[in-house]
Amino acid sequence: MLEIKNLSIHYIGKNYRVKAVENVSFNLTSGELLGIVGESGSGKTTLIRSIMGVNPQSAKIVSGEIFYKNSKILDFKDDSIKGDYKWKEIAFIPQSAMNSLDPVYRIIDQMREILIVRGDYNKKTADKRSEELFSLVGIEKNRLRDFPHQFSGGMKQRVAIAMALALDPKILIADEPVTALDVIVQRQILDLFNELRNRLDLSIILVTHDVSVVAYLCHKVAVMYDGEIVETGPVKDILEKPYHPYTIGLNNAFPDLHSTNDFLEPISDSLFHELDDLKNTFNSLSLNNEKLVKSDKFVSLKNKFTKLNTQNEKNN
Amino acid sequence: MSTILEFKNVSKHYDVSRNISEIFSGKQPKVRAVDNVTFKVKHGESVGIVGESGCGKTTLAKLILNLLNPTSGEIFFENKNVSNLNKIEEVHEFKKKLQFVFQNPYDALNPRFTIKDILLEPLKSLKFDPSKYEELINNVMNLVKLKNKDEYLSKYPHELSGGQLQRIVLARALIISPKFVVADEPVSMLDVSVRAGILNAFNEAKKTMNFTAIYISHDLALVKYVCERTIVMYLGSIVEDGPTKDVITNPLHPYTKALVKAVPVPHVDQSHEPLPIIGNIPDATKFYEGCKFSDRCPNPTHDCKSGNIKMGLIEARPNHWVDRCCVNCN
């Protein structure tokens, strides 16, 4: 469905250059649920925004290509996005979607705007489509004439999902869709994603910092650290046999409701420093990532953190 | 252990009017943010308060801190009624014992103050001996694990990361050695990788300083990590109260069951069963004759809505209290 090849995005200012995304590649197959995890500043949002072409001006795509159904929709050379695929093929739910609804317009007017401007609906059919969408995400249709402030957080998230689905996209990209929500509402939204995927045959990319959300919902996961995808694979493998020390650290830092372990291991600064050092050494030797992973130093670092992991398990 | 904090039938109602006729007709709708809440906290205990947004957790915290006056009922702190403190001396005396850790570290610190000014503020306003300032700052910076403290003290909040800021917020609360600390979702704004560090610092500080703590959160997994006792709130009332382990492994109230089930865990083979709860959070102004949970109860076995049943908590297991009505429903 969607293929991203060697994508690098840098923020370029007058006297600085931030490498937000470095050499990232992944594909999304039809009907797949892909989770991207990583902490703030790891480049998750920049990565997926580039697919929608909504990055700020200072973000420059310096290399890479994006393909959708085998047709190239983005080439770094001209830096602009080709084709009329936005919202119709790939839809995007921005971060804190609840705050991205316009507070002075009724929901129905905001729905009409998408349907009429982007799609080829008229006012009458747009209203009918809005009602359909509302029943799809589980909101009563008589609430279409309400203002955003009349909805609760979970309902606003549902409205945002309904809007994203307005023009029947095939891929849905959600940026931190459940971060600000309560656990019960969070669960309802996650179940909604799953249901929509089954019913509408969607492919979904879910960006989050919560490993357990990914574990609940996704098939495949990509772990991002410092602008790179450091580990990717089926969720089960990544959670049970993490390879990269950062993933191990991330797994340990998570509170688990049902484990009897009473100690959380914060990701230590020393791990970050060691990772950075390691990366710098290898960058200066101009080795690629694959060799880095196989190197002795890396393996010893990995063993160190696996040991820590097993120690924790013994304590259980 | 003696009781440090006691709530006796405390209620806090907010008046909300949608239009002027509601005000004049006297039918002003009320949000019952905290409704007839009774509980005790013992010295040295750490209590977690869980519930969804709008269930009155934060109002409860504000009542404890004397930032709000209750509509009815009494609050006792160290056997002294503190529900209506007026004299400034009394307020100061009270605030020397009680401190608050805020949810959002980015908003809680004055952007124009250096970290040192921020830490000195409680000492100055509560009139601590200036000769001790240096020592107190040293101690507290060690406690929250900010090494190289000189590096931080001259900085401004915008120069620090979220995790460091939350440590400063924690340090500001702990610098006066309070007896009682209320933390309102202290890690919900932070990244996962720094959460564990903050929670560890909080736990360690609690051990060294031996304060009583109330920890407010909607995430049971975090409460489990910090607190030995958990109170579950629903629409302004306490529905379950017991030892954290017992509440998580053996929840009695259907709402707690839903909460426990809804927390996602970092394992692949987790259940995707529907939650034992129906509908959404009801309108906060709704008045219930009977059981407040009746709208969302999956299998009410008797007529909870009528209001002719006895309400309140009963002790279902040792130290584990649960709502009298709902425990019968399943």
Q: What tokens does A7 get? A: 């994508």
Residues of chain B positioned with their CB less than 8 A from the CB of A215: 264-268, 270
For chain A, what percent of residues have pLDDT higher than 90?
8
Name the residue facing A255 among B221, B259, B270 (closest C-beta).
Answer: B221
Task: Check CB contact under 8 Å for B266 and A215.
Answer: yes
Phi first, then psi, for residue A133 (nearest 5°) are -65, -40
Cβ–Cβ contact B221 with A under 8 A: yes
Task: Check CB contact under 8 Å for B53 and A187.
Answer: no
Task: Check CB contact under 8 Å for B196 and A154.
Answer: no
Max mean pLDDT range (A57-71, A286-300, B155-169, B260-274): B155-169
Task: Check CB contact under 8 Å for B192 and A253.
Answer: yes
Give me the residues paired with residue A34 across strands: A205, A220
pLDDT at A270: 65
Cβ–Cβ contact B280 with A under 8 A: yes
Q: Nearest CA of chain B to the CA of A183: how many Å?
A: 6
Q: Nearest CA of chain A to the CA of B72: how many Å?
A: 29
Task: Check CB contact under 8 Å for B268 and A255.
Answer: no
A39 compared with B181, residue with greater pLDDT = B181
pLDDT at A279: 59
Task: Check CB contact under 8 Å for B264 and A249.
Answer: no
pTM, 2 dp: 0.81
Residues of chain A positioned with their CB less than 8 A from the CB of B218: 182-183
Strand A17-28 with B180-184, pairing: unpaired
Give the residue among B211, B212, B213 at the shortest CA–CA distance from B222: B213
Q: Nearest CA of chain B to the CA of A250: how many Å?
A: 7
H or E element at residue B35: strand B30-42
Cβ–Cβ contact B195 with A under 8 A: yes
Task: Check CB contact under 8 Å for B262 and A184.
Answer: yes
Residues of chain A positioned with their CB less than 8 A from the CB of B267: 215, 239, 256
Q: Which residue matches tokens 């030995």?
A: B228
Question: What is the Cα–Cα distance from A275 to A127, expressed in whole angstroms?
Answer: 54
pLDDT at A176: 86
Mean pLDDT of A9-19: 84
Measured CA distances, A213 to A33, A98, A128, A204, A274 (Å): 12, 19, 33, 14, 28
**CB atoms near residue B79 (< 10 Å):** 9
Which residues of chain B, if any, have pLDDT below 50?
none
Cβ–Cβ contact B262 with A under 8 A: yes
pLDDT at B321: 87
Q: At what angle do helices A245-252 and A269-284 cross, to 10 degrees?
A: 170
Task: Check CB contact under 8 Å for B224 and A251.
Answer: no
- Range with lowest mean pLDDT among A132-136, A290-294, B287-291: A290-294
Cβ–Cβ contact B52 with A under 8 A: yes
Cβ–Cβ contact B258 with A under 8 A: yes
Question: What is the Cα–Cα distance from A131 to A30, expressed in whole angstroms?
Answer: 27
Strand A203-208 with A33-37, pairing: parallel
Q: What angle do CA B289, B290, B294 make, to 5 degrees?
A: 120
Task: Check CB contact under 8 Å for B191 and A209.
Answer: yes
CA dihedral B16, B19, B24, B25 (to 10 degrees): -80
Closest Cα in chain A to B53 = A182
Q: What tokens does B90 get? A: 């009394």
A285 compared with A158, residue with greater pLDDT = A158
Query: Taking the CA of residue A126 as centre, how many other CA atoms within 13 Å lie in the half-sphere pointing to its CB?
Result: 19
Task: Check CB contact under 8 Å for A212 and B218.
Answer: no
pLDDT at A274: 66
Best B235, B245, B263, B273 member to test A by mutation, with max A CBs in 10 Å, is B263
Is residue A184 pLDDT above 90, yes or no? no
Task: Check CB contact under 8 Å for B220 and A183.
Answer: yes
Question: What is the Cα–Cα distance from B287 to A197, expressed in whole angstroms?
Answer: 39
pLDDT at A296: 62
pLDDT at A302: 59
pLDDT at B213: 93
pLDDT category, A289, cuts 50, 70, 90? low
Q: What tokens does B105 get? A: 């570290």
- Put the strands of the sheet holding A220-225 in their side by side order: A90-93, A171-175, A203-208, A33-37, A220-225, A228-234
Best B57, B147, B193, B246 member to test A by mutation, with max A CBs in 10 Å, is B193
pLDDT category, A78, cuts 50, 70, 90? low
Chain A residues within 8 Å of chain B (Cβ atoms)? 39-40, 152-155, 182-188, 190-191, 194, 209-213, 215-216, 235-236, 239-240, 249-258, 262, 264-267
Closest Cα in chain A to B221 = A257
Cβ-Cβ pairs closer than 8 A, A with B, add up to 115
Best A151, A184, A219 member to test B by mutation, with max B CBs in 10 Å, is A184
pLDDT at B318: 84
Closest Cα in chain A to B277 = A184
CATH fold group of domain B3-97+178-328: Rossmann fold (3.40.50)
Q: Nearest CA of chain A to the CA of B190: how many Å?
A: 9
Is ipTM > 0.90 here? no
Q: Which CATH number is associated with domain A1-89+172-177+203-239?
A: 3.40.50.300
Q: Which residue matches tokens 């994603």?
A: A193
Give the residue among A1, A2, A50 at the shortest CA–CA distance from A22: A50
Long-range contacts of A118-123 (CB under 8 A, 24+ apart): A118/A86, A118/A87, A118/A88, A118/A166, A118/A167, A119/A88, A119/A166, A119/A167
Q: Nearest CA of chain A to the CA of B275: how many Å?
A: 8
Residues of chain A positioned with their CB less than 8 A from the CB of B50: none
Mean pLDDT of A58-66: 83
Q: Nearest CA of chain B to the CA of A262: how many Å?
A: 6
pLDDT at A239: 82
Residues of chain A positioned with their CB less than 8 A from the CB of B53: 152-153, 182
Task: Check CB contact under 8 Å for A264 and B196.
Answer: yes
Q: Nearest CA of chain A to the CA of B107: how many Å?
A: 17
Give me the residues paired with residue B39 across strands: B7
pLDDT at A275: 65
